[in-house]
Amino acid sequence: MVQMEDVRTKYGLPSTDEMLARLDAGETLPAPFYYAPEIHRLEQEKIFAKSWQYACHESAVAKPGDYAVTRAGSLPIIVTHGKDGQLRGFVNVCRHRLHAIAEENGNKPLLQCPYHGWTYGLDGQLKTAPRSQREPNFDCSTISLEPVSVERWDQWVFVNPDPAAAPLSSVTAGIQERAAEINTDLREYEFQVRYEYDMECNWKLWAENAVECYHCPTLHNTSFGRTYHTNPDDYAIDSDANTIWHQGPIKWLPSGVDPAGLKGFRFAFTFPSSFFALDDYVGFVGSVQPVSPEKCWAFVDMYAKPGADPVVVKEWLDMWDRTLIEDKRATDIQQIGYNSGRVPAGRLLLDSESPLQSFMRTAVTALSS
């Protein structure tokens, strides 16, 4: 098993206390945090295996028999809606020879592995296994899918690979009140499209990009930066160990719309990888997942406010796709810089990038635990 001390020795990293002190002074995490295979493995064990992560919208598991497949880091997960009305989560791996139970969402009274036909109830219990009657001492009642934790956060379903995880509310406490308003508004919005992005960068680079808007006036000057006011006096940021909040007024308005009646852009992020947001026209929810030390993948489910002008909605959806493509290009290029080996760490502007400092502190603390 990889230990942080071994990583420090191999890459010449400072102690955890020294890294935290450097973060306090405005330095970023050391460059090896963004390419070292050992860090990637530690993150799977210390972060993604123990964190609440967005799985799906409640509509994906609304009826008994519904199930939805997702991932938490490298762990495949299936969420089921049982006959008793309970949502449950399991590692999406058959206990026979570790094939996936399901590869896409669906609805069935039982879950059958397509490889050899082992069949499970929606409660994860093995019901039948072909030819098992020919085996001495084979007892289906002793075999079940491996459980994970599942909780709703309003209409969103979150999973945590740790079956004994602390409640999701322990993570979201810092933004509960503000996020409740987002959830209330977004509940009325209608699903439009899913955007997916494959990045050639470490997942933290993409997440860090998502939680700061210092880059918005330059990188997104014709997309996000055109749509919202992003100067530091108008664009509010707030963060704690597990959550990050952004809020800013709309700048690019459809003809005849009074900005005084709009709530503007609101964005919430929960460590390590989940986010949701909305304004007065569209909203979204999504997640970023590590694929390898230098690759990640993100999905963003887009929603539109009922009754909104279809022309405006299309403009907003196109704007968000352009914004996220610009983010992908920027973080892909960042990865080259981190790989160069010539710059040991970056330098933050803490007035504008304080959420990055919070994100990095939480990451390094988790890896050192």
pLDDT at position 257: 82
| Euclidean distance between CA atoms 130 and 44, whole angstroms | 34
pLDDT at position 340: 95
Return all residues near 6 (Cβ < 8 A) that are at least 6 apart. Answer: 38
CA distances from 208 to 70, 91, 243, 331 (A): 22, 28, 13, 9
Return all residues near 59 (Cβ < 8 A) that are at least 6 apart. Answer: 155, 191
| Euclidean distance between CA atoms 336 and 331, whole angstroms | 9
pLDDT at position 184: 86
pLDDT at position 1: 73
Q: Using alpha carbons only, how large is the chain's radius of gyration in Å?
A: 22
Q: What is the mean pLDDT of each run of 10 residues along the chain (369 residues)?
A: 86 95 96 97 96 95 98 96 97 98 97 98 98 95 98 95 96 88 89 96 98 96 95 94 95 81 93 94 95 97 93 93 97 97 94 95 94
The residue whose two tokens read 């709530």 is: 263
pLDDT at position 53: 97
Beta bridge partner(s), residue 247: 236, 266
pLDDT at position 231: 93
Q: Cα–Cα–Cα angle for 150, 151, 153, nearest 5°?
A: 145
List the domains of the chain with CATH numbers.
56-167 (2.102.10.10), 174-367 (3.90.380.10)
* pLDDT 10s digits, 35-51: 999 999 999 999 999 99
